[in-house]
Structure 1
Amino acid sequence: MTPSTAVPTSPPGSAPRGRVRRWLRREGLPLAVMLLLLVVARSSLANHYHVPSGSMEPTLMPGDRVVVDMRAYGVRVPMTSWTLWPGDAPARGDVVVFRSPGDGTRLIKRVVAVGGDRVDLTDGHLSINGRPLARGPGLPEDFGTREARLDLDAGGGPDIHGLVVPAGQVLVLGDHRGASLDGRYFGLVDSDSIYGQARGVFWRRGDGPGWRRL
C-alpha cells in the first residue's frame, strides 16, 4: 500500500484573520484618513445645533435644527481653543453657539453688545450707548445688519443699567427676554468661548425641511 501524502491545513480561523489583516492594510489607512477629515470638518468648518427651548422665540423655535458656521470667528484645532487662523469678531445681532460660563453647556443666544458698549435694558428693551435699538413700541430691535423681533409675553426679565462690556467679551441675551437664561444670569461670555455663528434653520418641527436665514 502506498503511504498517503499529508496535506497541510491551516489552523481553524487563520484564513479569515488573514483576509481581515489584508483588508486593513489595503483599506484601513484610507478609511482612517477619511474619518479624521470628517471629524476636522465637523469640528472646524460646519456643524448643526438642536434648539432645546423657547428662549430665542420667535427667531428660533424648540426643536429647530440650525446650521452653525464654525469658521465665522476663526478656524480652530479640533477639541482645543487653538486658532489656526482668525476670523471676524462677534458682532451685535449675531446668533451664536457658545460655551456657558456657568456650567459649560452649549447654548444659543444673540450677541447684543460687544467690548466697549454701554448697555441699558429696561422691561426687555435694549439701549446701546444711549440709543434705543427699537424705533418704536412693537417694532424689532435694529442691530444694523440684522433685526430681532422680541417675545415679551413673559415680561422682560431682569433689567440692566449702565453695564460696560470689557474688551474680549460679549453680552448675550435671548429674544424671548422674559424666558431666557442668558447673560443676565451667568454673566458676560469670552469671545473665545464662541464656537460659531448660526446661519439658518434647515429643519423646523411641523414644517419639515426648508431654509430660514438668520
Structure 2
Amino acid sequence: MMKHWICKAWKENKSFLIFIALMLIFRSAVADWNEVPTGSMKPTILEGDRILVNKMAYDIRVPFTHISLFQRSNPIRGDIVVFDSKASGKKLVKRIVGVPGDIVELKNNVLIINGEQLSYELVTSNDTAIDKMEDLLGVEHFIRVSKHGSPLSSFRSDVIPSGYYFALGDNRDNSADSRVIGLVPRQEIVGRSRHVVLSFNYENYYIPRKDRFLQKL
C-alpha cells in the first residue's frame, strides 16, 4: 500500500520533486543566500541582510558535504567569507585579514600585519562608536570601533599555519571571531560573499530596506 502511494505521488509530482532536488543541490554546492542576524559585521553588513554566497568561489564540492572535488582558489585578505564554525557551533560571516604565513597584531584597534601598520581614515563618529575606512593592504573597507575599546581591542597572533585563516568582524569590538574562536580552518569555509540580495529592517516591522537591494559589499 505504501509502495503504491509513493509510486503514485512520484508520477503525479515528478517535475516538481526534481525541481526541488535540483534547487537543493544548487543551494548546497553552487550559490545560496544567508541571513545575517547580528551586527558583528557593521557597518558593512546589517542585521536583516540576506547576503549572496558564492559556494564555488574556492572549491567545487560534493553537494551537502565539505568534500572538495577541486580547489579553484584560496581566500585572500579582504574576502568576506561564510564558514561552518565547529568552535562556535554555527555558521559565521567574517572578513579574512590574515592568510597562511602572516602574523596579525591589533593594538588599540589598529591592525598590524607582518609588521606593517594599516592606515585608517575617519568616516563618522558618535557618542559610542567610530566608523573608519581601513586600508587592508590594498583592500579598503569600513570598520566600526567602540570609543571606549574592549578586551578585544588588542591581540597578537603567532605565525598563521598552512590551511588556516585569521578572520575578524568589521564591528571590531562586538564580534566573536578569530580572537575568540581561534583560526578558521580552510575546510570550514563554504563560500565568499560580495553582495546583499535583500534586507529587512528588524527595528521597523521587517520593512525591506530599498537601498540595500543588490548592494555591493
Same fold (TM over 0.5): yes
Letter in 1 for 2:95: R
**SS of structure 1 residue aligned to 2:144:** coil
Counterpart in 1 of 2:33? 48
Q: Can you list the C-alpha shifts for 1:167-212, whole angstroms capped at 9, x where unaligned?
A: 1100011111111111101100101100110121122234236111
1:118-197 → structure 2 map (5 Å cutoff): 118-135=103-120, 139-144=132-137, 146-153=139-146, 155=149, 157-197=152-192
- The root-mean-square deviation of aligned C-alpha atoms, in Å, is 2.5
* Structure 1: runs of 5+ lacking an equivalent: 1-13
Q: 2-side partners of 1:167 and 1:118: how far apart?
A: 13
Deviation at 1:79, TM superposition (A): 2.1
Deviation at 1:30, TM superposition (A): 4.2
Deviation at 1:31, TM superposition (A): 3.9
Deviation at 1:133, TM superposition (A): 2.1
Q: 1-side partners of 2:214 and 2:38: how far apart?
A: 20
Letter in 2 for 1:211: L
Deviation at 1:82, TM superposition (A): 1.2
1:1-214 → structure 2 map (5 Å cutoff): 23-24=8-9, 26-135=11-120, 139-144=132-137, 146-153=139-146, 155=149, 157-206=152-201, 207-208=209-210, 210-214=213-217
Q: Can you list the C-alpha shifts for 1:150-174, whole angstroms capped at 9, x where unaligned?
A: 1112526241225311111000111
- My pick for the range that moved more, 54-63 or 30-39, is 30-39
Q: 1-side partners of 2:189 and 2:28: how far apart?
A: 13
Letter in 2 for 1:147: E
Letter in 1 for 2:143: L
* Structure 2: runs of 5+ lacking an equivalent: 124-131, 202-208
Q: Do the aligned partners of residues 25 and 89 (structure 1) sit closer, same or farther apart at CA in structure 2, a change above 3 Å counting?
A: closer
**SS of structure 1 residue aligned to 2:28:** helix
**SS of structure 1 residue aligned to 2:215:** strand
Q: Do the aligned partners of residues 116 and 29 (structure 1) sit closer, same or farther apart at CA in structure 2, a change above 3 Å counting?
A: same
Identity %: 35
Tell me, yes or no, if the aligned pair for 2:121 and 2:134 is still in contact at 8 Å: no
Q: Which has the larger radius of gyration?
A: 1
Q: How many residues align?
A: 198
Q: Do the aligned partners of residues 106 and 162 (structure 1) sit closer, same or farther apart at CA in structure 2, a change above 3 Å counting?
A: closer
**SS of structure 2 residue aligned to 1:85:** strand
The structure whose residues are more often strand, as a share, is 2
Deviation at 1:73, TM superposition (A): 1.0
**SS of structure 2 residue aligned to 1:151:** strand
